[in-house]
Chain A
Amino acid sequence: MDEFIIRAMIAGSLVAAVAGLLGVFVVWRRMAFFGDTLSHSALLGVAIGMLLNIGFMVGVVASTLLVGIILFLFQRQQRVSNDALLGILAHSGLSLGLIALSFVQTQNVNVEEWLFGDVLSVTWDDVTWIALTLVLVVGVMAWLWRPLLTLTVDEELARVEGVNAGLVNLVFVGLVALLVATAMQVVGALLITALLIIPASAARSFAKTPEQMALFAAVIGVVSVFIGITASLLLDTPAGPSIVFSSAMLFFMSQITRVLKAA
């Protein structure tokens, strides 16, 4: 097997596994649109990172955190509904990102790569960065798990019982921002949310506990990456969309299994 395939499999699996872990919370908390907002505006981060020459990862983390904080502040008012606000930020971030990227065209930037990912071209350096970032995400998540789950079940009950809701929410947004940064190369800005919500939704049919659901989501994500990349090599299809479509197929199969089990 060529080395670039191994690199793609490793990078893709790492991102998909951690996306499954965080994705269950995105599903439980109905934050799918929120995931879109963070990942779409990540394109702006890519442009900022390139223009300032600080690397795209730093740019993406900075821009997604910024959007997260803007959202957090805006949610305290009631004049703009939450989903409209998410849409406004998602599309203004995407547009501004595309405009900003046009300024760095001189550096031979392929916009499509950032929109749909280019996992087959990751380097060993990229893989190392992705791995280190995700180890950090998983470590923090282990610590955050219980308070975040308590908060997800019911926020007011959790607050009365002493959970620091503001801090827990902020840390979670930070973790999603880090995941978005690593996933940009794998599936690109437009499809990251798919990795968060599709494996998690597929896992729901088989899970009896929250932890099981996260584990199954991670496994389904990794399987999707293997099928997607293999299909991409055999059929010469784009890798990112192939990964996402594979997970969608697994989701539909899980639904059929569920219906058959119920019958």
Chain B
Amino acid sequence: MKDSDKILATLKHVSLALEKRQILQDISITLEAGKVLTIIGPNGAGKSTLLRILLGLQKPDAGEVTRKPGLRIGYVPQSISIESTLPLTVARFVALGGKGNVKEVLAELRIAHLAKSAIQSISGGEFQRVLLARAIMRKPDLLVLDEPAQGVDVMGQGELYDRISTLRQRYGFGVIMVSHDLHLVMEKTDQVICLNQHICCHGVPDDVSRHPEYKRLFGDMPDSGLAVYTHNHDHAHDLQGNVVHSKDCDHG
């Protein structure tokens, strides 16, 4: 495979302002097949907006978005609410995502027992898995996850990341994931980008099991699925979000 074939999507110098408020400024990222990119940043940093631009749901003011022709995307949104007047089972909801074996994918994510439940009756954590099932069933080239670990505790978070890693190894899709947790990221992440309107810093995470703080809290767990990201900023943000240059990371 040539290097250019591995590239699933790119954003080049993307900027967006809504109602005169700058949301994103000069963002460039490249997504590759089989690679995991985690985007972290504080609330209001523009993480979800960045995903929406990548997905083609929002047009940027400037910059260029390219997706590989015929790119199949599996999208796991942050949360969606489904009209209660619509009689819909979990299995049917997943089937609406496209062609594929619903039974198999539900079993794979260990939610086969929910197949006949009404989609409105399941819990938030279960719904996350159902959304993941629908995305996986599409046999995507790229999996896009918007805060998949939201409302899940640290153990659950590790378990979820572990499952995504396993699925990625099996199917070979690329992953882009947004997380509001500034320090704990998916262990198998190839790259971390810290976003606050612009790209503050980027790098690779440290293995969480080597991190003394984590060891103290949770003991020795080699397969936690988590990793710690150490920020390396050369600037800080004031209350208005403007860049203030400094030597150290302000939230490290």
A residues sitting closer than 8 Å to B (CB atoms) are 27-30, 146, 149-150, 152-154, 156-157, 159-161, 201, 204, 207-210, 212-213
Q: Which residue of chain A has the shortest Cβ distance to B134 in the bound complex? A: A157
How many residues does chain B have at the interface if contact means C-beta atoms less than 8 Å apart? 22
> Using Cβ atoms and an 8 Å threshold, which residues of chain B touch A212?
87
The answer to whether A208 and B57 touch across the interface, beta carbons within 8 angstroms, is no
What 8 additional pairs, Cβ within 8 angstroms, besides A150-B96, A161-B138?
A: A153-B82, A153-B93, A154-B80, A156-B57, A157-B75, A157-B97, A161-B98, A210-B86
Q: Which residue of chain A has the shortest Cβ distance to B87 in the bound complex? A: A207
Q: Which residue of chain B has the shortest Cβ distance to A163 in the bound complex? A: B96
The answer to whether A204 and B85 touch across the interface, beta carbons within 8 angstroms, is yes
Given A161-B138, A209-B92, A28-B85 contact (CB < 8 Å)? yes
The answer to whether A161 and B97 touch across the interface, beta carbons within 8 angstroms, is yes
Given A150-B96, A153-B96, A154-B80, A160-B55 contact (CB < 8 Å)? yes
Given A153-B88, A210-B88, A159-B57 contact (CB < 8 Å)? yes
Q: Which residue of chain B has the shortest Cβ distance to A29 in the bound complex? A: B83
> Using Cβ atoms and an 8 Å threshold, which residues of chain A touch B85?
27-28, 201, 204
> Using Cβ atoms and an 8 Å threshold, which residues of chain A touch B93?
153
B residues sitting closer than 8 Å to A (CB atoms) are 55-57, 73, 75, 77, 80, 82-83, 85-89, 92-93, 96-98, 134, 138, 144
Tell me the complex Cα distance, A201–B98, Å: 28
By secondary structure, the B interface counts as loop
The answer to whether A160 and B96 touch across the interface, beta carbons within 8 angstroms, is no
Tell me the complex Cα distance, A207–B86, Å: 9
Closest CB of chain B to A146's CB: distance in Å?
A: 8
> Using Cβ atoms and an 8 Å threshold, which residues of chain A touch B88?
153, 209-210
> Using Cβ atoms and an 8 Å threshold, which residues of chain B touch A149?
96
> Using Cβ atoms and an 8 Å threshold, which residues of chain A touch B75?
156-157, 160-161
Given A150-B96, A209-B92, A157-B80 contact (CB < 8 Å)? yes
By secondary structure, the A interface counts as helix
Contact of A157 among B77, B83, B89, B92 (CB under 8 A): B77
Given A156-B57, A160-B73, A161-B75, A208-B83 contact (CB < 8 Å)? no
Q: Which residue of chain B has the shortest Cβ distance to A27 in the bound complex? A: B85
> Using Cβ atoms and an 8 Å threshold, which residues of chain A touch B80?
154, 156-157
> Using Cβ atoms and an 8 Å threshold, which residues of chain B touch A152?
83, 86
The answer to whether A209 and B77 touch across the interface, beta carbons within 8 angstroms, is no
Identify 22 residue pairs between A and B in the complex whose beta-carbon atoms are under 8 Å apart, listed by A's number: A27-B85, A28-B86, A150-B96, A153-B88, A154-B77, A156-B55, A156-B75, A156-B80, A157-B75, A157-B80, A157-B134, A160-B55, A160-B56, A160-B57, A161-B75, A201-B85, A204-B85, A204-B87, A207-B87, A208-B87, A208-B89, A209-B92
Q: Which residue of chain B has the shortest Cβ distance to A200 in the bound complex? A: B85
Closest CB of chain A to B194's CB: distance in Å?
A: 25
Tell me the complex Cα distance, A213–B86, Å: 9
Closest CB of chain A to B160's CB: distance in Å?
A: 19
Tell me the complex Cα distance, A29–B85, Å: 9
